[in-house]
Chains A and B, each alone.
Chain A
């Protein structure tokens, strides 16, 4: 049994210990605050470096022509918002034409990529067929070949098919699962889905195609969303493909049309070009926001057990 005296001694010892603990806790908190401040400073600085080109573009799109490359300031002396309206109608054809062209090429390419790549990925991930690993290696190999290497043979091929100066060379390959990256991305995703789902569907009377269409695809929204976003951005921003295959200004996509503002001989309209560049970013942002939701919703619908 403890006496009152030892209780008092214990109490004072505990109080002293608590005081020491409080001091060291305060120290730790101060340290953590300093750490956080440094982290934020670094991150803000890094974001500024990343965002600077975007701010520069935005400011250049409203600057007078003579200020764009001459002053360092991001703030224009006068705001020339008519760069936008002039730029829209500044070329022989209205920019709406180029937007429509780009939209046709991009939307069809995205649809083609999603359908064909997921189809190929399903076969690699789930079906058994002779030479599967050989074809898989072949597909992986295409990932490692730079686009520029196959550029000329491809051009010759499409020339012989009579497809040059049409959208076919830009769109048809997308329906043939030619983007190894997306096939690979989807294979990895499909492999995570439990095989028992396929088997349950098989017993429920589904053919392999129906398993793909009714079970695998609806469960792969995150992968589809990711592929759709990348596919959209890459095709929308593609300059080289349209440059090679499209000759007629009526068929030009937005990146090609932007190039028309720059004239190596006469006067270039950089302000208008940057204004149109800004507008060309809008669809990408909208598409990203829409499909990002899909990714999140997709993740929420998975989860077995």
Chain B
């Protein structure tokens, strides 16, 4: 079942186009994460879905019903804001109950739902407090509670964890995941943090400049990025990109990557001579691999569980290499780096993924 459909949806401010020709189906019960760099339009898109922004082109439909002109309160959704947006003059209980009272629900039902949400989020003891008496994490819970009590068909989250410190963020992330598992409601979640995106999402939508770059499961995005932007955006540390020349021969194709000896690759579906090959830092090995090159260690970043090496190849190209067994290296050491062909991603001169034929 499709919970939400965007068809050619767009948003323009005068001549400036923020969201262009968006086509997307959100399945019922899925956790969809919108991710992208700042200014990519992800928050605007979320607000359009919420009904807080008018759309200028196309349609938005929920459960098969076009909701373009339906006010936010009638869309049967809840939203958690980045700043939590708790009403500062109301107690936690009142904050939770406010929307329900506006829906004119019977008092007993309001109390039942508030108590239930408070129990799920373990904020029963905070019900009589005002938001200013709460810590960041507690405010976050109350904001989620306010979303839960409405028992909506769709949850919207606008960077809800970005105001929390690192430790709390990890904890709340886990709690959000378990909340999703428990409620099973459709959720759309905006973030610029790819770790949040990867860990929470059933599917991720990568946005750039108001357009969808790729939609897929976290694994699909990581293992088969459709273009250079997605390849660079998903995965930390960032993927290595090496500009290369591609030559077609009688027995396949040959790639000359800067700093590496030319190597044979499967036949690729392109006539381009200039391509970019990408490889994850974790796929590069020291002293191993069928394709190898010499380089000098420029920087060693020891992270405890792994070490990140910045290695300058003789061609001037810098490669990031991450791994466990590299802790003993130091700056200035000469090393041999190598990789296997299976770990390579190929992109044409327009940045689109190339497949072997």
A contact residues vs B (CB 8 Å cutoff): 194, 196-197, 199-206, 210, 214-215, 218-219, 300-305
Contact = CB atoms under 8 A, between A and B. Distances in A.
B84 A305 contact: yes
Given A202-B52, A203-B72, A205-B73, A197 B99 contact: no
Given A203-B99, A204-B98, A204-B102, A304 B89 contact: no
A301 B89 contact: yes
Given A194-B85, A304-B83, A202 B132 contact: no
B136 to A, nearest CB: 8
Contacts of A215: 87
B266 interface: no
A203 B74 CA distance: 8
Interface in B305-324: none
A209 B229 CA distance: 45
Nearest to A196: B85
B87 A197 contact: yes
B71 A202 contact: yes
Chain A to chain B: the 5 pairs with minimum beta-carbon distance, closest first: A204-B99, A205-B102, A196-B85, A205-B73, A200-B85
A200 B163 CA distance: 18
Contacts of A197: 85, 87
A134 to B, nearest CB: 19
Which secondary structure dominates where chain A touches chain B? helix
A305 B136 CA distance: 7
A206 B88 contact: no
B144 to A, nearest CB: 13
Interface string B63-92: 000000001110001110111111111000
Contacts, number: 73
Contact of A204 (B73, B82, B83, B131): B73
Contacts of A204: 73, 98-99, 102, 146
A138 B51 CA distance: 32
21 contacts: A196-B81, A196-B82, A199-B50, A199-B85, A200-B146, A201-B87, A203-B51, A203-B72, A205-B102, A219-B89, A300-B132, A301-B88, A301-B132, A302-B88, A303-B88, A304-B84, A304-B88, A305-B83, A305-B136, A305-B139, A305-B163
A222 to B, nearest CB: 12
B195 interface: no
A194 B73 CA distance: 19
Interface in B280-313: none
Which of A196, A206, A300, A301 is the most central at the interface, judged by chain B CB atoms within 10 Å of its CB?
A196
Interface in B27-76: 47, 50-52, 71-73
Contacts of A214: 98
Interface string B266-281: 0000000000000000
B83 A196 contact: yes
Contacts of A205: 73, 99, 102-103
B169 interface: no
Contacts of B73: 202-206
A192 B130 CA distance: 20
Which of A206, A218, A303, A304 is the most central at the interface, judged by chain B CB atoms within 10 Å of its CB?
A304
Nearest to A215: B87
A305 B139 CA distance: 8
Given A199-B79, A200-B87, A305-B84, 14 more contacts: A196-B83, A197-B87, A199-B47, A199-B72, A200-B81, A202-B52, A203-B72, A205-B73, A205-B99, A219-B89, A300-B132, A301-B132, A303-B88, A305-B136
A301 B72 contact: no
Contacts of B130: 301
